[in-house]
A and B are shown apart, each in its own frame.
Chain A
Amino acid sequence: MSVAVRLGRGPALGLGLATLWFSLLVLIPLTAVLVETAAGGWGAFWRAVADEQTFAAIRLTVVHSLLVTLVNVLIGTLIAWVLVRDDFPGKRVLDVVIDVPFALPTIVAGLVLLALYGPRSPIGVDVANTRTAVFLALLFVTLPFVVRTVQPVLAELDREAEEAAATLGASRLATFRRIVLPALAPAIAAGAAMSFARGISEYGSLVLLSGNLPMRTEVASVRILSHIENGDLAAASAVAAVLLVVALAAITALDLIQRRVARRG
């Protein structure tokens, strides 16, 4: 085999491997969910999704994930900014602690939250069995995403471009909006996508504190599990398919927003 031929095959092999890997891990399971959903026909799908309790669970999950993502975009960017641009005592500690919610097994996070904000809260805050519990748990586990995607981009940002903007008459706010934000937009969008995806799929951290009350605090993943426990695989797949479409729509929307912001300036 000549060198030229092998050079040609290297990239092809890489692409093939990547496609295979992606197929095995992502495409096939996704297709399986959709096939399973389709097996029952549209009628079964609508019955499952239109079910009052299921719809409430999906709505709760999506709305709270959106809210939490919005908060993360703002607070996460702020934390990243503080970690990169400011110097304060305890900065190194904070930098490490940021990852704890991510590193913690989710059920452990659930236990921690229950102990802290449950009926026997040492600080007198009891949010057990409320929607606040869902919000709090999602906020806890998704905290690192935006911080960790924005931080390295911010650290690499050209400070002189900001100084140049200032010499050209831009206020600090204008400089942030027109110079810094466009550079951070892809990172913020990536962090937001991860945060949202994690939000709609979360189970372990909120299952203990939220109480899983039907119509009130039950989230989609809990609903899927109860469908499976009841032997209704088709209904479980239907909810899963909805979450899949929502996640896809969210990622696409974020990408579009990110492109607009990155080009605006």
Chain B
Amino acid sequence: MSIQVRAVRKRFGAFTALDDVSVDVPTGGLTALLGPSGGGKSTLLRVIAGLETPDGGEVLIDGLPATHLPVRERDVGFVFQHYAAFKHLTVYRNVAFGLEIRRRPAGEIRDRVGELLRLVRLEQFADRLPAQLSGGQRQRMALARALAVEPRVLLLDEPFGALDAQVRKELREWLRRLHDEVRVTTVFVTHDQEEALEVADEIVVVNQGRVEQTGPPDELYDRPATEFVMRFLGPTTRLGDALVRPHDIDVRLDGVGVPGRVDRLSRVGFEVRAHVDCDGQQVMVTLDRTRAAALDLAPGRAVSLVATSIGDPARPGTTRPISAGTGASGAAEFHP
């Protein structure tokens, strides 16, 4: 089921959480709302769920107006950052809750809950209380609970935000596989660009209550519409006036490009980070170990830097350098 958000506005007192936001979520897709904390992405998700009422604009689910539909009639599955487990109920009863509310026959509930517990790999924990589960298990339970009622759309608010790095990584891969299996239209909120890039089909970058850009992960990474998007999706550095990615700078010894001197080298696993001093400007370049060894890089060595430009046949999908000061051009390519 598709979701359309049209010109939605929401204020909390003097704070504008959403300022004329429009988003289109296609049926069956996995869409990430990505942005910094306090940027409005969670509010947007809560407006879609009906947990917040917008001050203006409208929400359509599956083409039908949903703006004034109460939460419980919207048929959305919602997963909260802090699990929102029903603490006094067992894992089984947590998952069964929505079905019990809908007064489904006992046999059907038993089958459906069993099926979901298998799907989230919690069968053997059915009789435990949420307090007896780990964070990752609780979140899987919350996901099963949301999926139990076969919602039209699944909304996840920073679903892995409270988990430690290892579990986070596991769960997001698992979410991707789960989505490929269940195919329910899914929107998740995250402030972690890596999570969005890895998991989502489509990313909506939200900042200061506005949509900065929408598109598939590759497009956003390779062709960011604004300086904000470029900065937010990955590391950047300045070479002359251009904002470029550190891995999109070619280090040369033949003197072509901007001359500089290697200031400092640091190695992080496979990657080598070189800080190059170009006439007072600190430029960060990342290259792989082999390339660094071939260039025989060492502090003090004279090099020259060239930003690889868009359409470079040798390096497909490289970043288009953005010159300084084009930051606030907004969500021009956004409306459907």
Contacts and interface: CB of A to CB of B under 8 A. Distances in A.
Interface of A: 158, 160-161, 163-171, 174, 178-179, 182-183, 262-263, 265
B310 interface: no
A179 B86 contact: yes
Contacts of A178: 97
B93 A168 contact: no
B84 interface: yes
Given A160-B80, A161-B86, A166-B51, 7 more contacts: A161-B84, A167-B72, A168-B98, A168-B146, A168-B148, A174-B101, A265-B86
Nearest to B130: A161
B82 A167 contact: no
Contacts of B265: none
A164 B51 CA distance: 10
B262 interface: no
22 contacts: A158-B84, A158-B87, A160-B82, A160-B84, A161-B84, A161-B85, A163-B71, A163-B84, A164-B84, A164-B145, A166-B51, A166-B70, A167-B71, A167-B76, A167-B146, A168-B97, A168-B145, A169-B72, A169-B102, A169-B149, A178-B97, A182-B88
Contacts of B87: 158, 161, 183
Contacts of B89: 265
Interface in B89-126: 89, 93, 97-98, 101-102
B240 to A, nearest CB: 49
A182 B77 CA distance: 23
Nearest to B83: A160
Nearest to B78: A167
Given A169-B101, A169-B102, A179-B86, A164 B72 contact: no
Contacts of B93: 265
Nearest to B79: A164
A182 B89 CA distance: 10
Chain A's interface: helix, strand, loop or mixed, by majority? helix
A62 B148 CA distance: 48
B88 A168 contact: no
Contacts of A174: 101
B145 to A, nearest CB: 7
Contacts of A183: 87-88
B154 to A, nearest CB: 10
B101 A170 contact: yes
A174 B97 CA distance: 11
A163 B46 CA distance: 10
B30 interface: no
A168 B82 contact: no
B5 interface: no
B44 interface: no
B49 interface: yes
Nearest to B85: A161
- Sorted from nearest, which 9 A-B pairs have the closest CB atoms? A168-B98, A160-B84, A164-B84, A167-B78, A166-B71, A182-B88, A160-B80, A169-B101, A169-B72
Contacts of B78: 163-164, 167
Contacts of A161: 84-87
Contact of A167 (B77, B85, B86, B88): B77
B72 A171 contact: yes
A168 B149 contact: yes
A161 B145 CA distance: 12
Contacts of B88: 182-183, 262-263, 265
Most B-side CB within 10 Å, residue of A158, A168, A178, A183: A168
